[in-house]
């Protein structure tokens, strides 16, 4: 048996795992990243969920999420404006290649793929040793700090720390969207559906516009009969359109979400779970292939299966292959750490109607936020949508989720002194998981966990003892991918005084007004609507602007009328001052499938 002793051990497989490993190594910690599969990007690449939701506004494009977004924009020859579910779309292999390049550049980081967890051992309240199999060889690993960067909370299943699983009643924490205890006890649904439904993503290849079923009136065969009823076939296919005329098939409306036999996945020992996952995976894959085939038949020559993922015969390290199926499922939820603090649904919601701020979870650390999310909240189950408390607002000509903060205590185990969480397995309620599980936030949660582990080594302390202010400062000052601990609506990532404004907010969060704007006494100036970075594929758009913030903006330009959106706060503020019919000269990128113009700045 081979013995390894890194400073920081990251069990990965999720997007948060690679982020944690990268940040720990960049800070100087000897880091070992283990992944169960051949790819390391988790849902961003290996699971094929390459139209990210959340953190789309430029103030939220910070940290490793922002760095990846800008690297993707440079790497995709046709840009990222390709679909209508997200402002960003990219090929899975593009994201994986970027992440691998980043990992390879870190001398303190070692990555081992295709690993299998065998056992964990504790010494008192510490996780002292992991047993892992790699390339048929047993490994015994000891580390000072351990990070669970998996989607399902794999280390928690080994007994590494206490965790939660499944639903909590409304009486538990008074969450507005949680079911009452009487329903949990009476209805079999809640036992049969302990977590949100996963999806095994498939990728299709478009061939022009779908010729058949343009209006969705021709139903698909069971169980997908109603899949195109709401939007029609063409909009269903452009929902997740990607560069190269590919399309991500991750369709929640009577599509390839999987709703069956999830309870056994979290029961029994590791061998039982592994066996059940193999059986479940085969059925999930076939379900997605059946859905893809139903769309192919309906598209009448307009769609085929793509060949974008390595298959079982591909050489190790391959980025391309002959399979349309992702390398792993898109897990939306799994085991959730019992942490020093727990993020609840109330912590995601605005403090009051019209307030742009959310409540900061109290965890005994004061202003302890280490990452910002803004997804609106979304739960996937069989049947109709689960009713959720609203947390969206009109911004930049479109709907956006209001921002919220994740406290450091949600990453720190309450029962295992050297364990941190870095992915969906953070300490969060079942209801709040619907907003905290998305790719951008998970990347930055992983970054915070990796930074915390490295700082613990520097301070010679345990995670629970780490001064939160030191972590916040380190994230803001990170030289490669500075990350925002707090949401500042008026300060995009490219503001020249971004760091100073984040520091000021961390030191005195009471300076944030009810619109999420920072009052720093005029120490820094806000950007003008002409100030935003140039982008590949941007163009000049000249025309007359109509509409308003509540109803949306339109630009009449060269005989066409385009819906208009922006992700930039300075342009958002300027558009609100214009009268309908104003002549404008704007710079931005066209998305024919949105359809919209995503504008970034005034031309003059």
- Give tens-digit pLDDT for 191-202: 999 999 999 999
Tens digit of pLDDT for each residue in 27-70? Answer: 999 999 999 999 999 999 999 999 999 999 999 999 999 999 99
The residues near 554 (Cβ < 8 Å, ≥ 6 apart) are 545, 546, 547, 561, 562, 563, 564
CB 573 within 8 A of CB 529: yes
Question: Token pair of 411, please?
Answer: 């990453």
Given a cut of 70, whether residue 364 has pLDDT beyond it is no
CB 42 within 8 A of CB 179: no
Given a cut of 90, whether residue 435 has pLDDT beyond it is yes
| Coil, strand or helix at 117 | strand
* CA distances from residue 531 to 5, 289, 377, 494 in whole angstroms, order as listed: 49, 46, 32, 9
Which residues of 162-251 form beta strands (DSSP E)?
163-164, 202-206, 241-242, 246-249
Which residues of 255-375 form beta strands (DSSP E)?
303-305, 336-337, 369-373
CB 473 within 8 A of CB 448: no
3-state SS record for 519-574? CCCCCCCCCCCCCCCCCCCCEEEEEEEEEECCCEEEEEECCEEEEEEECCHHHHHH
- Degrees to nearest 5, angle at CA 272 with 270 and 277: 95
Question: Rounded to whole angstroms, how far apart are CA atoms 501 and 459?
Answer: 26
- Considering only 37-41, 62-66, 322-326, 513-517, which range has the smallest mean pLDDT? 513-517
Given a cut of 60, whether residue 153 has pLDDT beyond it is yes
Given a cut of 70, whether residue 218 has pLDDT beyond it is no
Percent of residues, the chain, with pLDDT higher than 90: 85
Question: Rounded to whole angstroms, how far apart are CA atoms 593 and 343?
Answer: 36
Question: Rounded to whole angstroms, how far apart are CA atoms 11 and 156?
Answer: 11
- Distance from first CA to last CA of the chain, Å, rounded? 66
Peptide bond before residue 595 is cis, with ω within 30 degrees of 0: yes
Confidence of residue 358 (pLDDT cuts 50, 70, 90): confident
Residue with tokens 């709040």: 432
- Report the candidate in 78, 23, 79, 89 with the shortest Cα–Cα distance to residue 56: 89
Given a cut of 70, whether residue 210 has pLDDT beyond it is no
Q: Where do the CATH 2.40.50.140 domains begin and end in the chain? A: 539-602
CATH fold label, 539-602: OB fold (Dihydrolipoamide Acetyltransferase, E2P) (2.40.50)
Q: Where do the CATH 3.50.50.60 domains begin and end in the chain? A: 2-164+331-511
Given a cut of 60, whether residue 217 has pLDDT beyond it is no
> What CA dihedral angle connects 193, 196, 201 and 206, to 10 degrees?
110
The pLDDT value recorded for residue 524 is: 87
Question: Rounded to whole angstroms, how far apart are CA atoms 168 and 34?
Answer: 32
Alpha-carbon torsion 404, 405, 409, 410, what sign?
positive
Mean pLDDT for the stretch of residues 159-171: 96
- Considering only 103-112, 476-485, 508-517, which range has the smallest mean pLDDT? 508-517
On whether the 2-164+331-511 domain is CATH 3.50.50.60, my answer is yes
Percentages of the chain per state (helix, strand, coil), in multiples of 5:
30, 20, 50
CB 188 within 8 A of CB 324: no
- Report the candidate in 24, 19, 20 with the shortest Cα–Cα distance to residue 45: 19
Question: Rounded to whole angstroms, how far apart are CA atoms 334 and 328?
Answer: 14
Confidence of residue 130 (pLDDT cuts 50, 70, 90): very high
Given a cut of 80, whether residue 316 has pLDDT beyond it is no
Tens digit of pLDDT for each residue in 549-574? Answer: 888 999 999 889 999 999 999 999 99
Overall residue count recorded for the chain in this entry: 604
Mean pLDDT for the stretch of residues 129-155: 96
Average pLDDT, rounded, for the chain:
94
Our measurement of the distance from residue 173's CA atom to the centroid of its chain's CA atoms, rounded to an integer in Å, reads 25
- Report the candidate in 386, 393, 394 with the shortest Cα–Cα distance to residue 349: 393
Helices and strands (H and E) in the chain: how many = 14, 24
The pLDDT value recorded for residue 251 is: 96
**pTM passes above 0.75:** yes
The pLDDT value recorded for residue 411 is: 98
Question: Rounded to whole angstroms, how far apart are CA atoms 425 and 57?
Answer: 25
Going by their DSSP bridges, the two strands 246-249 and 163-164 should be labelled as unpaired
Judging by beta carbons within 10 Å of its beta carbon (0-12, 13-18, 19+), is residue 271 exposed, middle or buried?
exposed
């Amino acid at each position: 048996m081979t013995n390894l002793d890194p400073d920081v051990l990251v069990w990965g497989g999720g997007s948060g795992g690679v982020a944690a490993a990268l940040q720990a190594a960049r800070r100087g910690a000897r880091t070992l990243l283990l992944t169960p599969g051949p790819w390391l990007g988790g849902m961003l690449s290996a699971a094929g969920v390459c139209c990210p939701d959340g953190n789309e506004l430029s103030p939220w494009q910070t940290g490793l999420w922002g760095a990846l977004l800008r690297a993707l924009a440079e790497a995709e020859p046709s840009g990222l404006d390709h679909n209508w579910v997200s402002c960003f779309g990219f090929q899975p292999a593009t994201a994986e290649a970027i992440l691998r390049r980043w990992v390879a550049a870190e001398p303190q980081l070692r990555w081992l793929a295709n690993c299998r967890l065998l056992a964990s051992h504790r010494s008192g309240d510490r996780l002292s040793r992991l047993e892992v199999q790699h390339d048929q060889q047993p490994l015994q690993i000891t580390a000072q700090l351990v990070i669970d960067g998996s989607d399902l909370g794999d280390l928690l299943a080994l007994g590494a720390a206490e965790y939660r699983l499944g639903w909590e009643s409304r009486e538990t924490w008074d969450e507005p969207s949680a079911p009452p205890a009487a329903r949990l006890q009476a209805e079999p649904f809640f036992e049969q559906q302990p977590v949100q439904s996963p999806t095994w993503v498939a990728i299709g290849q478009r061939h022009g516009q779908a010729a058949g079923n343009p209006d969705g009136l021709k139903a698909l065969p069971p169980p997908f009969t109603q899949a195109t009823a709401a939007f029609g076939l063409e909009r269903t296919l452009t929902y997740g359109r990607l560069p190269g005329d590919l399309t991500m098939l991750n369709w929640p409306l009577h599509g390839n979400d999987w709703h069956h036999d999830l309870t056994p996945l979290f029961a029994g020992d590791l061998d039982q779970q592994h066996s059940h996952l193999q059986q479940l995976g085969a059925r999930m894959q076939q379900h997605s292939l059946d859905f893809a085939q139903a769309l192919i038949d309906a598209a009448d020559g307009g769609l085929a299966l793509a060949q974008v993922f390595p298959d079982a015969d591909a050489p190790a390290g391959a980025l391309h292959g002959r399979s349309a199926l992702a390398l792993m499922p898109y897990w939306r939820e799994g085991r959730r750490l019992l942490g020093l603090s727990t993020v609840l649904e109330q912590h995601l919601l605005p403090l009051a109607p019209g307030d742009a701020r959310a409540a900061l979870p109290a965890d005994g650390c004061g202003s302890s936020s280490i990452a910002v999310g803004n997804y609106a909240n979304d739960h996937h189950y069989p049947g109709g949508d689960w009713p959720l408390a609203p947390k969206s607002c009109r911004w930049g000509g479109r709907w956006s989720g209001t921002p919220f903060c994740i406290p450091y205590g949600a990453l720190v185990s309450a029962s295992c002194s050297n364990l941190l969480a870095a992915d969906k397995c953070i300490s969060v309620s079942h209801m709040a998981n619907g907003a905290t599980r998305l790719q951008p936030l998970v990347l930055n949660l992983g970054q915070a966990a990796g930074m915390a582990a490295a700082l613990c080594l520097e301070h010679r302390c345990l995670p629970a003892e780490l001064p939160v202010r030191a972590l916040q400062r380190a994230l803001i000052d990170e030289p490669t991918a500075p990350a925002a601990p707090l949401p500042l609506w008026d300060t995009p990532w490219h503001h020249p005084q971004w760091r100073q404004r984040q520091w000021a907010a961390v030191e005195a969060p009471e300076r944030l007004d009810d619109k999420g704007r920072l009052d720093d006494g005029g120490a820094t100036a806000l950007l003008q609507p002409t100030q935003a970075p140039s982008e590949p594929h941007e163009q000049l758009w000249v025309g007359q602007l109509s509409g308003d913030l509540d109803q949306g903006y339109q630009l009449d330009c060269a005989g066409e009328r385009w819906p208009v959106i922006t992700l930039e706060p300075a342009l958002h503020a300027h558009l609100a001052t214009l009268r309908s019919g104003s002549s404008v000269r704007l710079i931005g990128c066209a998305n024919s499938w949105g359809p919209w113009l995503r504008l970034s700045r005034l031309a003059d």
